[in-house]
Amino acid sequence: MPSLFLLRRCKPSLLKALEKVAEMAGWTLNGSSESVRDIAAPLQASPPDIIACDLRLLDGHACRLARQFQQWPTRPQMLLLTPTADDLLLFRTLRCGASGYCVETGDGQGLAEGLQRMAAGRALMSPRIARKTLLALELPRSCLVRASQAEAGQQASVSEQAVGSVGSVSPADQHLLSLLAHGLLSDEIGKHWGLAQAEIEQRLHRIYTQLHGHPCMPSEFALRLAA
């Protein structure tokens, strides 16, 4: 059963999230908090599988936490909760160690879907984040026609690369990022490549992991050009 810690910026948001998680079978709640202060020690002592965290918190922000998690021997996955995928802080926090994000909905369904997706090793990526990821990994955008061909999706995905190739991205994943940057959705890419949407989202989850280990980080000016 996946274990979860909830970190929300205010009590109403936290209570609503707790209600939604209570409806989800098979999940264990390790704890919850409205404050970043003093949670690092208990979390490190008993790390959950996933920490669902608001992108911005009243006494800190998720980017700082993501950096801390990178240093832990047992590192939980971090699901960022955001009202929009266009928030300028979102990519920075994903770059620092977060494993994915979900856009919240008023009924809590966005949170539920985000948790289920992360537990299955899947992730979403918006066109803006795809463009910034290409820049951060110093990759050119593939030709749309070439990247859309079925064989483009078979060119050695990250999971097939040699262990230890942290920070590297395969041609298939470069094509995937390029298609997302052009505005295609993951299910549309799956249809072009003859793959299930779940497989596309699993590749995106692995790309975030590769992004964490990549030493190059372009200037903020360069990243703004991709926005």
* pLDDT (0 to 100) of residue 157: 53
- Specify burial of residue 26 (Cβ count, 10 A radius: 0-12, 13-18, 19+): exposed
* pLDDT (0 to 100) of residue 217: 45
In CATH terms, 3-119 corresponds, of 3.30.70.120, 3.40.50.2300, 3.30.1130.10, 1.20.1740.10, to: 3.40.50.2300
* pLDDT (0 to 100) of residue 213: 67
Contacts 24+ apart (CB under 8 A), 39-47: 39/5, 39/7, 40/68, 43/5, 43/76, 44/72, 47/72, 47/74, 47/75, 47/76
- pTM (2 d.p.): 0.88
Domain boundaries, the chain: 3-119, 127-225
Q: In terms of Cα–Cα distance, which of 158, 205, 169, 167 is closest to 186?
A: 205
Cβ neighbours for 116, distance < 8 A, ≥ 6 positions apart: 24
Residue by residue, pLDDT tens for the chain (227 residues) are 899 999 999 999 999 999 999 999 999 999 999 988 878 888 888 889 999 999 998 888 899 889 888 888 888 999 999 999 999 999 999 999 999 999 998 888 999 999 999 999 999 999 999 999 999 999 999 999 999 999 999 876 544 444 334 447 899 999 999 999 999 999 999 999 999 999 999 999 999 998 886 554 444 434 443 44
Q: List the beta strands (DSSP E) in the chain.
A: 3-7, 28-33, 50-54, 56-57, 60-61, 77-82, 100-103
